[in-house]
Structure 1
Amino acid sequence: MLRFNKSLIIIALGASLAACGDSNNNEVVTPPTPEPVSYQFSVEVNNLTAGQPFSPVALIAHNEGNLWQIGESSSAALELMAEGGDNSELLNFASAIATSSGDAPVGPGAQTTLTVTTSSLEELKLSLATMMVNTNDGFTGLNSIDVSALTVDEALTHFTFAYDAGTEANSEAEGSIPGPADGGEGFNEARDDIDLVSMHPGVVSQQDGLSGSTLNSEHKFDNPLAKIVITRTQ
């Protein structure tokens, strides 16, 4: 009888252990949540002009579209920036996935660095724009530069040219230029020029015969206007 009871105990223990084994095999293991991946770019903007401060720079990461197109009409956002240096609407670019803005103008010979971070490299492009504030509606920048293939610590260097938003006549008249050369009104929603983006013809100035100009020879500029260094840092 004693042997029989021991056998029952052994059988019961075996069944219990088997049940425990089955329980472990059926346990659902939740995998850890992966850390989010981010990609970071540093953009250094160097003002190469002698007398044209740049408005606070707008930097936009996006995967489609352009901030401007030569031969096409400026957007209202580009007009606002190119006439008055206000980049707030440009930073609301419809295709933007990340943006950054300088917090102050960039004087002649000075430089500023902006940073932008995204969660994807797929078809990633960077654009930036800034006004030459001692003009009526002149601006410079980069348009849809592909950075999707950049590796960490790899850099691209670009030199920018002067563009005319085509929204305000280049009168150089007193009261029409927002920069320190004049302190004028800047943005005006009326468009009194060709209403097409083009290469900027340059400043004329008083010395070169534009009698009503508030600008002088120090406000003239040659291309390139800026040196831009884009570095992937993460």
Structure 2
Amino acid sequence: MVFPRYMLLVLPLAALVAGCGSDNDDNDPLTGARSFRYQVTITNLSAGQPFSPAAVVIHRSQWQAFTLGNGASVELERLAESGDNEAFLAEAGADASVLATETGMGLILPGATAEIPASASGSSDSGFLLTWMSMPVNTNDGLVGIRGIDLSELSTGDTRTYLAITYDAGTEANSESADTVPGPAASGLAEGFNAARDDIRDAVYIHPGVVTLDDGLDTSTLEGIQRWHNPIARVRIERVQ
């Protein structure tokens, strides 16, 4: 099924040093630039919320996916309402502060894990940050991810693990009806992205969770299995070169 339709709270879970290798990595003899490579491993901790294909960005501090309390960009809105990360990654990639963008290849199902390789070049990794964003697709305009993780703390072979919570893009009312939720709970029949914004907040905020049929909301297409408690995802970042 195709789904056309963060300061972020990040909870450090563990810091694991798996051995340090040499940092003399593939220097470009002309520019002196080095290649820094990472493996981003995302585990979906929910019972019934598939994540849309991951959007991974390596960037400097001048770029942000969003700011809590401010309105979402149209590109982020498209990701949050439809799960489509193409415009979000294109907008990021056009920014001079963005070093690299990568996309996952498919949904991250509940309990499943996805691995996304990412790499960037520079004279050093000072100022390198990593952001990941996806949509929990059985929501109206939900987001899950981590933002601004400092990659310069990692030597080759090091790993860090984080827990992520959910956010609401604030662009679509959380009606949870079959025509507005693009995920499999609504049989994928919803419209996906809609440029009109009908959430009265029109700002990114921490997601309050969903209200389901099992909670007594007769118009909701969701059931109890689509509820979640934060954290909703575990993210492991390893520097492999």
What TM-score do you get using the length of structure 2 for normalisation? 0.81
2:46 to 46, 49, 66: 49
Q: Deviations over 1:132-156 (max 9, x none)?
A: 0000001100111111121001111
Identify the structure with the greater helix proportion: 1
Is 1:180 aligned to 2:180, yes or no?
no
1:215 to 219, 222, 233: 222
State the superposition RMSD in angstroms.
1.3
- 2:37 is aligned to 40
Q: Matches of 2:33 and 2:209 in 1, distance apart?
A: 47
Tell me by how many angstroms 1:207 deviates: 1.5
Q: Matches of 1:70 and 1:106 in 2, distance apart?
A: 25
Tell me which structure has the larger Cα radius of gyration: 1
Q: Matches of 1:103 and 1:34 in 2, distance apart?
A: 32
- 2:98 is aligned to 96
SS in 2 for 1:82: helix
CA contact (8 A) 1:63 1:122 kept: no
- 2:175 is aligned to 171
- 1:23 is aligned to none
Q: 1:192 to 1:38 in 2, by over 3 A?
A: same
Tell me by how many angstroms 1:33 deviates: 5.1
Tell me by how many angstroms 1:71 deviates: 0.7
SS in 1 for 2:131: strand
- 2:18 is aligned to none
Tell me by how many angstroms 1:206 deviates: 1.0
Q: Matches of 2:56 and 2:178 in 1, distance apart?
A: 31
CA contact (8 A) 1:68 1:143 kept: no
What does 1:63-74 align with in structure 2 at a 5 Å threshold? 63-64=60-61, 65-74=63-72
- 1:106 is aligned to 108
- 2:5 is aligned to none
Unaligned runs of 5+ residues in structure 1 are 1-31
Q: Matches of 2:171 and 2:55 in 1, distance apart?
A: 19
1:77 to 51, 75, 78: 75
CA contact (8 A) 1:152 1:233 kept: yes
What does 1:114-153 align with in structure 2 at a 5 Å threshold? 114-120=116-122, 121-153=125-157
SS in 1 for 2:76: helix
Q: Deviations over 1:97-143 (max 9, x none)?
A: 11110010010000100111111212000001000000000110011
What TM-score do you get using the length of structure 1 for normalisation? 0.84
CA contact (8 A) 1:59 1:126 kept: yes
- 2:20 is aligned to none
Tell me by how many angstroms 1:161 deviates: 0.3
> Partner amino acid for 1:59?
V
Tell me by how many angstroms 1:37 deviates: 2.0
Is 1:160 aligned to 2:164, yes or no?
yes
Unaligned runs of 5+ residues in structure 2 are 1-28
Q: Deviations over 1:21-62 (max 9, x none)?
A: xxxxxxxxxxx7588521101100000000000000000000
Q: Matches of 2:222 and 2:153 in 1, distance apart?
A: 43
Which deviates the most, 123-132 or 67-76?
67-76
Q: Matches of 1:140 and 1:34 in 2, distance apart?
A: 37
> Partner amino acid for 1:126?
L
